[in-house]
Amino acid sequence: MKIQKLSTYLQELEKTASRLEITRILASLFEKSVPAEIDKVVYLILGTLAAPFENVVFNMADKLMIRAIAEAFGKKPGVVNETYKKLGDLGDTAALYAAAKPSNLTVSQVFERLRKLAEDEGEGSQERKVFKMAELLKEMDRESVRYTVRIPVGKLRLGFSDKTIIDALSWMETGSKSASENIEAAYQVLPDVGALAVQVKRHGSSALAEKVSPTIGVPVVPMLPQRLGSPKKMVKKMGTVSVEPKYDGLRTLIHYDKNGVKVFTRNLNDVSEMFPELGSMGKYTDAKEIMLDAEAVGIDPKTKRAVDFQKTMQRRRKHGIVETSKQIPIRFQVFDILMADGKSFMREPYTKRREILSKLIKKNKLLIVDEHTITDDPGEIQKLHKAFVDQGLEGVIVKRADSEYVPGRTGWRWVKMKEVEGAEGKLADTVDVLIMGYTQGKGKRAGFGIGQFLAGVKREERFLTVTKVGTGLSDEEFKRLNKTLQLIKVDKKPKTYNVHKDLEPDYWVSPEVVVELAADEITKSPKHTAGLALRFPRLVRFRDDKSPSQATTLKELKRIFDLQKNN
């Protein structure tokens, strides 16, 4: 496929708001893509070059792109910058200068050249990136220039994500969403829609179950808990259960083989450098390759007790990690195993996976196999919950004893029961919301650059508002938030946001930052587009370990609302 042809599809997608119509356009695009290029098509329309967990980034900011545009079209950088200020879009700016000519470049050629540009690092790499980008732009037609420029600077946001790609692959194959469930199930094990598109194109969605299995180095989407209000309801829904402590740590997926250790967060980011201790992983297991699900918990060197999430996350820094690891010792509370030595255990019952886990992990002080109690007695669950809370933990996780490992938050397989410190009202749980925009601060907060932020929850691929937050943040948190939001500020409301006109903020931001909020209660709301609102919300913590796709859904918020009413 020629890049010029792909650009006509991108133009059509940019003008389309309907998710169903977007899905149909994408299905048509995928139908016309051959197996050898469909993964590259998928990555480019998502504005990326690989699955997120591969961490392939451009490192090309607006200033570098302005220089590349100037170089490509014989303009001075200052002139390009002035045009950019007027138009507000680098793609439109470049297209204004580009010649109206056809391009013979293919999608694969453009993809490979962008990939080489992204992988160019070290001394002189910025100059080389400018030159390579300029050379590529010279060979393109006007519309291809427009969209290609937006990709490296992260501005090709067309209002859809992986979920729509999955539906579009189903439409390509069946003319409906009937195959989406099969593709989605495979995506949970192989969260790489480009690679999945190749599999569907070559073998069909029905073959994915046998073609896709857990693989070292590829993070499986973790299994997540639901919420239930009482131990009685837990036993009624799940029968015999395993009761385990709920730590305030960092959810980690540990992958080990002869090549070393990789550690992924629940949003599939590679954080291996945070944990140099795992370099000796081979001492703790006889398995040649193993994939574990665990909670990384920071330990106070003096009290020997678990520290909170934010303290543990101080390890996530670029420099001085070895020194930081000494100041914040770590242990991994290991509670599940997904595969070992080429064999998947995801379809084994939980109790069987526990047996395998205990056999494969040697007793040590770094990887601790979590304690667990098998019971069908609600009173025992309540007793254990209180005991763990008294120890300073969050409460308990309750898991159906015969459950398979099913990625995502589906069914009544795992449920959480925890108490939130300071939740004086009815709402005894927290909500993970996405920051959608913010309002300029006044008075003291004028110095912070932010007075309050607008936050929302997910419904499919759209975000609906639930609250504005302007209290409960320290001065340092306001400053940190302002610094973060300045980097993702956008000129117009993203297509995925649904906001009542009376609640529109001074500035919009792209959907990237997730924060955890506590509140006194959830109430019905005529203005918030979720139909529900958080009353007296307050910041609990920044959820750097969560992606926007893992924000609380409207369905989950309604379930919390129902639990609140029944308490």
Largest CA distance in the chain: 76
349-to-42, 55, 211, 356, 522 alpha-carbon distances in Å: 35, 33, 22, 11, 36
Cβ distance 332 to 306 under 8 Å?
A: no
Q: List beta partners, residue 463.
A: 458, 497
The C-alpha atoms of residue 438 and residue 261 are separated, in whole angstroms, by: 40
Q: Is 252 helix (H, G, I), strand (E, B) or coil?
A: strand
565 part of the active site? no
Q: Residue 186 contacts by C-beta under 8 Å, 6 or more apart in sequence?
A: 196, 199, 205, 208, 209, 211, 212
Residue 379 burial (CB count, 10 A)? 11
Cβ distance 244 to 371 under 8 Å?
A: yes
SS3 helix, strand, coil % of the chain, rounded to 5?
Answer: 45, 20, 35
* Catalytic, out of 40, 246, 458, 468: 246
The C-alpha atoms of residue 467 and residue 560 are separated, in whole angstroms, by: 16
Residue spans of beta strands (DSSP E) within 323-366: 330-340, 343-344
β-strands 330-340, 367-369: how paired?
parallel
Residue spans of beta strands (DSSP E) within 277-419: 290-298, 330-340, 343-344, 367-369, 373-375, 395-400, 414-418
Q: CA 404, 346, 348, 356: dihedral to nearest 10 degrees?
A: -120
**What is the set of active-site residues?**
246
